[in-house]
Structure 1
Amino acid sequence: MKKLLTICSTLVACIALVACSSPEMKKANYEVIPLPKTIVKGEGEAFNLDKATLIAYPAENEKMEKNANFLSDYLHEMLGLKLSLTTDLKSTNAIILDLVEGENKEAYTLVVEANKVSIHGTSEAGVFYGIQTLRKSLPIGKNLKVSLPAVEIKDEPRFSYRGMMLDVSRHFFPLDFIKRYIDILALHNINTFHWHLTDDQGWRIEIKKYPKLTEIGSQRTETVIGHNSGEYDGIPYGGFFTQEEAKEIVEYAADHFITVIPEIDLPGHMQAALAAYPNLGCTGGPYEVWKQWGVSEDVLCAGNDDVLEFLIDVMDEIMEIFPSEYIHIGGDECPKSRWQECPKCQSRIKTLGLKADKKHSAEDYLQSFIMSHVEKYLNDNGRQIIGWDEIMEGDIAPNATVMSWRGLSGGIEAAKMKHDVVMAPTSHVYFDYYQTQDVENEPIAIGGYVPIQTVYSLEPAPAELTVEEQKYIIGTQANLWTEYIPTTEQVEYMVLPRMAALAEVQWCVPEQKDYVNFIKRLPGLMEIYALEGYNYAKHVFDIQAKLIPNINEGVIEVHLNTIDDAPIYYTLDGSQPTEASVHYEGVLKLNETCSFRAIAVRTSGNSKVFSEEIDFNKATMKPITLLQPLNERYKYGGETTLVDGLKGNLTLRTTRWLGLSGNDLEAVINLKSEQEVSSVDIRVFVDKSDWVFDSRGFEISVSTDGENFKNVLTESYLPMKETDENGIKTYHLTFDPIHAQYIKVKGLSEHNLPEWHDGKGKPGFLFIDEIGVN
């Protein structure tokens, strides 16, 4: 009996063990990023993926064999399954990869039936995108049963050009990482890698006819610390790609159906080349590879025939390395000061008969001559140029594609002129900008503010264009400039998950796009980020907050939410919120000074604490009128921003700072009743490299009726010096107590930038974020 009981016990234990270790069944979810065009659920049985499943591809098609191997690798990585490959397209219990006819050469259909999964592509690239959709739809785990519900997916991209740029000039990244970056692009259905290879701070591609470009031009003696602080790290920095390495990247990208477009920025951004070959500059040097950031006045000499020969020689070798139809030749941020003083350049202007007009200077037309010279040579060799939107200043090269970065307007203008356009505006797709307003807890960035929601909101084909003109918008891309991005980990942090939003902008038609739905789908893609070990930003899991001034009620409305509707708790005294704190429900209305803190509570771990200092004073939430206009680009929420009790931080474009240029701040605040006042506080942002200067003075006037004002304070300040610090300055302006209902504040801007500044003689910007009255 004891022996029988022991056998029974052992059997029960074995059965339990088998039950516990039996694979968990999980279903595929086809709502991936980018969202397929149509997803029609089938009525048949699901397909069960297991180790006996085959991957079939057409025989003697090398690209399709690579596709099959990619799929096999993805499945092994995600599920631990190592599936066998076959060329028998009639196989059952198989994933069939094959080709069909179709107009859009990147289209695919994915059909799931009980006995097979079929991915039909109009090209090998279409099959590759179908594989990416299948990959992203699968669960992740090594001991899973995977069920693929019956479905028919029909999909194709909206734009033929879907790009992502990486700058390797300011900071250099090794060969293996460039391949990893291409893997990231492939995951997001991006088909163009724009590779920014040369700039003032480093020349990164081998040119055999000009060996000093890499011997000298790829090395800088040290690098500036922070935002052109004047202090340097004292560490030599350099690196470049040999032509063979670059060809290896081109081949690796092609295997992932990605075209590499090289950029040789000209005629500006060339100081590294001038350091190697000083005869190519207007002054003859000496030059050094630039150690700081910004725009150098030293550019290629447009009057020098050696420069024309140099550019053709460089393009010869670039075309040999890169088979892409497009070559990017920059054309942006080329100061003309050297040309204005250079006898050779002025002689060239005279010889060509170039004349200034109402729109452009003679030097602008001289740049057009350089760009057209290069374009003609590339066209003669079967290539086309892309340039930044400055190439439209002067005579635009006749066949040029315009990459519009200074907003959408350049692209709109180019499309109306029947030029192909790639939209890449700073406002939406500059991934070197901050992705959160909490910049104090972020790695240093160039500035700006482009959260993932802003990326998603981009419409590359604006309504200002007709349907016919919109056809010239061939696509869009995001840019990653790396002045403040020294590591590969930070590259990934800055592009992910914003690249997911970009992917949906590039792939989906506008009617498909829905930000709330996108955010719900994003965690599934992030699981793949985690699997691959990508260093992605997790701000989407933080509390999303909107603080909206309500002048009518005299309150700040606090709107909070989370991606997963996690419960939120808050405090008003600056203390750490916990589950024991006040539970956030609905809109919170605040009408007094407080230190607001909030946290989202999850079993997987709480969110980062959201914090905001809210300062109420006599001016807060009071009516305000501006007597001089704000700059259109920097008006954001309008004048109410100046009295909303919320302060900006060290990032100008967080919408807290309002800017003006060419005129002065002149604001009238209505306190709504006569009160005793004795001080005004004003905060000013200063960043000289961005032409953002301190105020030249303030005037405070008061009134009891809003018509007759009495001046109570006037202060004037000296112009800024080159050595003056950037940052936030707070002015506490005091005067004898006086009763008033209306306060007029005038802040004088810098109307003429000083001689030492590269914008000398032009108006600077004045940025204000808050006006306080006490």
Structure 2
Amino acid sequence: MNYKIRLIQLCLLLSFSIACCSAQDVRLTYKIQLKAASPMRTAVLITNSGKESLPAKGWNIYFNSFKRLVDEKNPDFTITSIHGGLYRLSPTESFASLPSGASREIKITAEDSRNISDMPLGFYIVWDKNPEKGYSLTNTDPGYISAIPSEPEFAAKIFSQNTQLKDLPAPQKILPTPVKYEEKSGVFRLDFSAKIVTDASFSKEANLLAADLEKLLGRKPAVLPKSTGKVIILQKAHLPENTYQLSVNSDKITITASTATGIFYGMQSLKVLMPPKSWAVKQSFINIPAVEVTDSPRFEHRALLVDVARNFIKKEEILKTLEVMALYKMNVLHFHFSDDEGWRLEIPGLPELTQVGSQRGHTLTSEKYLPPTYGSGPQTGVSSGSGFYTRNDFTEILRFAKQRHIQVIPEIESPGHARAAIMSMEARYKNLSAKGEKQAAEKYRLADPQDQSTYRSVQMWRDNVVNVALPSVYNFMKKITDELVLMYKEADAPLTTIHFGGDEVPAGVWEKSPAVNELLAKDKSIENVDGLWKYYFSKVHEMLKSRNLYMSGWEEIGMKKVLKNGKKRMIEDSTVADRNYHADVWNNLLGTGAEDLAYRMANMGYKIILSNVTNNYLDMAANKSFHEPGMFWGGYVDIDKPYYFIPYNYYKNSKENLDGDPIAANAYAGKQQLSVAARKNITGLQAALWSETIATPERFEFMLLPKVISVAERSWAKDPEWVSELDTTQSKVLYQKAWNAYVATLNQREMPRLDSYSGGFNYRIPTPGVLIKDGKIFANNQSKNLKTHYTTDGSEPTVKSALYSQPLTSKGNYLFRTFNEKARGSQTIRVVFE
């Protein structure tokens, strides 16, 4: 996924704390402060607060930046790109020692930095006397509160958006929106006396519901084949697959379906129908409003991709994520467990994959483990850079997912994004070769040692693509596939497909490989190096087919390179469109020519999952504020982007370009429309949560929620009225009405529910809007459930700070934050009122 490049100047204000050798008492601290917001400039001031001087040489400082840096020709320092996003800062001959109490400034230029996530991170120092060990440097201001710029234009935009929202007195009570929903008078009083009466075919679901109700009531309801009195009935009837009916009245609750999956979805609607605070404390009874609901999913594939490779996410957080996915009826977990920066799954027979590929620490060779990336630091096993799932962990995840009617699709990233696997198999090769086991050493090797090809991936790797001319590559893919099949069989979990990646293979790969030249000479069906793309995926396809699996991948699995106007470009390949390839199409970036790629491929016959970066990539920052974490190369994604996404015509409601500015009227002129016949080839939608900027469970949940609920809504619910309305003005009126209801439901029902559900989630609190007008400062919120607090002394607002209740007239430097009922705050907005 390509970064739009804009050079900006960074100055790093660095201060780290380190105990080096006992002979030297060098103490440094670092703090990064914003100096200019646009283009973004920061300063890093190295300050020596120790008793001894920092020597003029004999040390190097390493750090990470996923943005490429340009040498500013600092006379006292050189900055060198090592690999990936790892950089080395070294003193030059002109650098004088840094005395105690002295400071030194360093200038760095980075590409297109805009927000807090673009800051360099993971600083550590390595002394020449001990080059194998790094010492982490501590950031004394990790929140960068002092760096918050004044953002009056952004704050005013949020204010305007909030003024268009009106809290409704009775927002809809079930998300995703059901096909038919009718509220009745009365309530069902759920208490200890209630029993669950179930058809025998739904016993597993009945027991799961009983376990859920025990968490609310403190006592598990009995599950019986029949009973009288207050009952929740799970009954079987002839309905379309996965359709359910939910009926609640004062006497009983009835969920009807023909399949266990349909019954499960009815159970989730029942849970969402309950008062939001039902999960906060155990209670003696819960009043459930009377309703009549008939419902079924729009798309069969409603997915969330979770990237555990860039930053590891513990099993417990994955299980928690499956719980919230199930609550909103998402049914596919796309498990991205391998990439350049990590291999996270134990594979019997290949221990190196986790011994080497799951660990990150200070190394320049990657022989024992991988180098630091995304600020993971110099030590293995202590940060989210290291970690893996044992085979038992993974089978537990599979069982947990199956119980909640969620399919887990594993992804083996290849042929690119494969450095963790490549380095692991190189370690295996060296270990076995040293023992004289040459045949075993070469069996799973992924790299051609004689390959002199030069390339650089988007993430700045020069050795991250497997050599598809090697027979050992296919031994490896078969081994991983067969071990996955065994895990799924042990867990009794469904496995219909394996995702084999396919994205972002850079130009230049394989061009100077003896193994490739040998293959091209032997197999004349491969015209040139570019033909290896189809060769590789054809072999993987046949391997999967022999195991009764089909192939999934990114859009590139159905594309090929062609020469056009003297330049190579990727286009869809009609010759493999009949192979049942399922392609996650992420690229609809304006100006790339791929705006209509998903529709072109669907029209050609490919099965398409709409994974559009502009609307469904949850790792994108919610807005343009400096303090908002996340990526932005695909635009800005808040809850509205996936909500207003129209699967069969996403051009219609595109509103912003990649810079967050209004889209040009002719942005999609000449682009291919999705044909009515090809609609059947759109199998579903996918939200993607890539983890480059996610190093903690709290940040993971912050980026996930509530945005993922909007993806769940759009993948489950039928097209709303505003989609089919042809009159543009009326369509906008209908949209605003629906948007009001949706936001009110999120803020009044779903966010309070998620405060406690499954232990509670650290969801994102929306920022307040602030407007300076007529000599006053006005502030507002997205919901009446939220409160805004402010400070004028430069400190970050808390719930103990002044509460905004009326327009402010005093001049000053204002910081505003929104808080929910649990006293969790939003990102901070700074506005200077002069």
Please say if residues 614 and 634 of structure 2, whose CA atoms lie closer than 8 Å, have aligned partners that are also in contact.
Answer: no
SS at match of 1:194: strand
Alpha carbons of 1:130 and 1:265: their partners in 2 closer, same or farther (altered >3 Å)?
Answer: same
Please say if residues 610 and 647 of structure 2, whose CA atoms lie closer than 8 Å, have aligned partners that are also in contact.
Answer: yes
Alpha carbons of 1:546 and 1:302: their partners in 2 closer, same or farther (altered >3 Å)?
Answer: farther
Alpha carbons of 1:297 and 1:29: their partners in 2 closer, same or farther (altered >3 Å)?
Answer: same
Q: Is the aligned partner of 1:47 residue 2:188?
A: yes
Q: Is the aligned partner of 1:562 residue 2:700?
A: no
CA deviation vs aligned residue, 1:380-412 (integer Å, no higher than 9, x gap): 221111110122322464321110112263321
Aligned-residue offset at 1:96 = 0.2
Aligned-residue offset at 1:355 = 7.2
Please say if residues 569 and 581 of structure 1, whose CA atoms lie closer than 8 Å, have aligned partners that are also in contact.
Answer: no
- Aligned mates of 1:216, 1:580 — CA distance in 2: 53
Aligned-residue offset at 1:569 = 9.7
- Aligned mates of 1:473, 1:582 — CA distance in 2: 49
Match of 1:522 among 742, 746, 752: 746
Please say if residues 765 and 818 of structure 2, whose CA atoms lie closer than 8 Å, have aligned partners that are also in contact.
Answer: no
Aligned-residue offset at 1:506 = 1.3
Please say if residues 446 and 484 of structure 1, whose CA atoms lie closer than 8 Å, have aligned partners that are also in contact.
Answer: no
Aligned-residue offset at 1:596 = 7.2
- Aligned mates of 1:328, 1:79 — CA distance in 2: 41
Who is 1:427 aligned against? Answer: 614
CA deviation vs aligned residue, 1:120-152 (integer Å, no higher than 9, x gap): 123111111111111111122544643333321
SS at match of 2:412: strand
Who is 2:215 aligned against? Answer: 77
Please say if residues 78 and 142 of structure 1, whose CA atoms lie closer than 8 Å, have aligned partners that are also in contact.
Answer: yes
For residues 589-628 of structure 1, what are the structure 2 equivalents within 5 Å?
Answer: 611=829
Q: Is the aligned partner of 1:536 residue 2:762?
A: yes
Who is 2:404 aligned against? Answer: 256
Who is 2:236 aligned against? Answer: 99
* Paired residue total: 561
- Aligned mates of 1:564, 1:530 — CA distance in 2: 17
Please say if residues 451 and 513 of structure 2, whose CA atoms lie closer than 8 Å, have aligned partners that are also in contact.
Answer: no
Aligned-residue offset at 1:324 = 1.4
Superposition RMSD in Å: 4.0
Please say if residues 569 and 584 of structure 1, whose CA atoms lie closer than 8 Å, have aligned partners that are also in contact.
Answer: no
- Aligned mates of 2:450, 2:303 — CA distance in 1: 37
Aligned-residue offset at 1:298 = 3.3
Please say if residues 75 and 135 of structure 1, whose CA atoms lie closer than 8 Å, have aligned partners that are also in contact.
Answer: no
Where relative contact order (Cα < 8 A, 6+ residues apart) is larger, the structure is: 2
Q: Is the aligned partner of 1:219 residue 2:359?
A: yes
Who is 2:133 aligned against? Answer: none
What are structure 1's unaligned runs of at least 5 residues?
1-26, 357-361, 549-554, 586-592, 617-774
Please say if residues 33 and 188 of structure 1, whose CA atoms lie closer than 8 Å, have aligned partners that are also in contact.
Answer: yes
Alpha carbons of 1:594 and 1:274: their partners in 2 closer, same or farther (altered >3 Å)?
Answer: same
- Aligned mates of 1:306, 1:391 — CA distance in 2: 21
SS at match of 1:149: strand
Give the residue type in structure 2 aligned to 1:118: T
Aligned-residue offset at 1:267 = 0.9
SS at match of 1:299: coil
Structure 1, 600-609 or 378-387: larger mean CA deviation: 600-609
Alpha carbons of 1:584 and 1:566: their partners in 2 closer, same or farther (altered >3 Å)?
Answer: farther
Who is 1:769 aligned against? Answer: none
Q: Is the aligned partner of 1:314 residue 2:480?
A: yes
Who is 1:131 aligned against? Answer: 267
SS at match of 1:262: strand
Aligned-residue offset at 1:202 = 1.9
Aligned-residue offset at 1:615 = 12
Aligned-residue offset at 1:305 = 1.9
Match of 1:118 among 254, 257, 263: 254
Who is 1:192 aligned against? Answer: 332
Aligned-residue offset at 1:71 = 1.8
Who is 1:509 aligned against? Answer: 718
Q: Is the aligned partner of 1:338 residue 2:509?
A: yes
Alpha carbons of 1:341 and 1:546: their partners in 2 closer, same or farther (altered >3 Å)?
Answer: farther
Who is 1:488 aligned against? Answer: 697
Please say if residues 436 and 539 of structure 1, whose CA atoms lie closer than 8 Å, have aligned partners that are also in contact.
Answer: no
Who is 2:205 aligned against? Answer: 67
CA deviation vs aligned residue, 1:431-456 (integer Å, no higher than 9, x gap): 22223444436489999532122222
Alpha carbons of 1:73 and 1:602: their partners in 2 closer, same or farther (altered >3 Å)?
Answer: closer
Aligned-residue offset at 1:570 = 9.5
Give the residue type in structure 2 aligned to 1:196: H
Who is 2:58 aligned against? Answer: none
Match of 1:476 among 670, 676, 685: 685
SS at match of 1:238: coil
Give the residue type in structure 1 aligned to 2:484: I
Who is 2:414 aligned against? Answer: 266
Who is 2:176 aligned against? Answer: 34
CA deviation vs aligned residue, 1:605-649 (integer Å, no higher than 9, x gap): 797586456899xxxxxxxxxxxxxxxxxxxxxxxxxxxxxxxxx
- Aligned mates of 2:480, 2:343 — CA distance in 1: 12
CA deviation vs aligned residue, 1:197-256 (integer Å, no higher than 9, x gap): 21122222233343332333333334777768xx95344553333333322221221111
Structure 1, 138-147 or 122-131: larger mean CA deviation: 138-147
For residues 375-774 of structure 1, what are the structure 2 equivalents within 5 Å?
Answer: 375-394=541-560, 395=573, 397=576, 398-407=579-588, 409-440=596-627, 442=629, 449-462=636-649, 464-511=673-720, 514-523=738-747, 524-531=749-756, 532-540=758-766, 542-544=767-769, 561-564=781-784, 583=807, 611=829
Alpha carbons of 1:58 and 1:584: their partners in 2 closer, same or farther (altered >3 Å)?
Answer: farther
- Aligned mates of 1:338, 1:69 — CA distance in 2: 53
Alpha carbons of 1:459 and 1:36: their partners in 2 closer, same or farther (altered >3 Å)?
Answer: same
Match of 1:347 among 507, 512, 518: 518
Give the residue type in structure 1 aligned to 2:499: H
Give the residue type in structure 2 aligned to 1:533: G
Give the residue type in structure 2 aligned to 1:238: S
Give aligned-pair identity as a percent: 27
CA deviation vs aligned residue, 1:162-194 (integer Å, no higher than 9, x gap): 111112222223333322221121122111111
- Aligned mates of 2:373, 2:417 — CA distance in 1: 20
- Aligned mates of 1:149, 1:594 — CA distance in 2: 49
Aligned-residue offset at 1:584 = 8.4
Alpha carbons of 1:261 and 1:95: their partners in 2 closer, same or farther (altered >3 Å)?
Answer: same
- Aligned mates of 1:40, 1:260 — CA distance in 2: 34
- Aligned mates of 1:162, 1:68 — CA distance in 2: 24
- Aligned mates of 2:833, 2:790 — CA distance in 1: 17
- Aligned mates of 2:824, 2:349 — CA distance in 1: 58
For residues 221-260 of structure 1, what are the structure 2 equivalents within 5 Å?
Answer: 221-222=361-362, 232-235=377-380, 238-260=386-408
CA deviation vs aligned residue, 1:746-772 (integer Å, no higher than 9, x gap): xxxxxxxxxxxxxxxxxxxxxxxxxxx
- Aligned mates of 1:187, 1:507 — CA distance in 2: 12
Match of 1:160 among 280, 300, 319: 300
Who is 2:6 aligned against? Answer: none
Who is 1:622 aligned against? Answer: none
- Aligned mates of 2:274, 2:679 — CA distance in 1: 36
Please say if residues 200 and 270 of structure 1, whose CA atoms lie closer than 8 Å, have aligned partners that are also in contact.
Answer: yes
Which of structures 1 and 2 has the bigger CA Rg?
1
SS at match of 2:353: helix
- Aligned mates of 2:538, 2:752 — CA distance in 1: 47
- Aligned mates of 2:750, 2:238 — CA distance in 1: 30
Q: Is the aligned partner of 1:180 residue 2:320?
A: yes
Aligned-residue offset at 1:517 = 1.1
CA deviation vs aligned residue, 1:564-603 (integer Å, no higher than 9, x gap): 2879899999999956886289xxxxxxx99776677999
Please say if residues 571 and 598 of structure 1, whose CA atoms lie closer than 8 Å, have aligned partners that are also in contact.
Answer: yes
SS at match of 1:536: coil
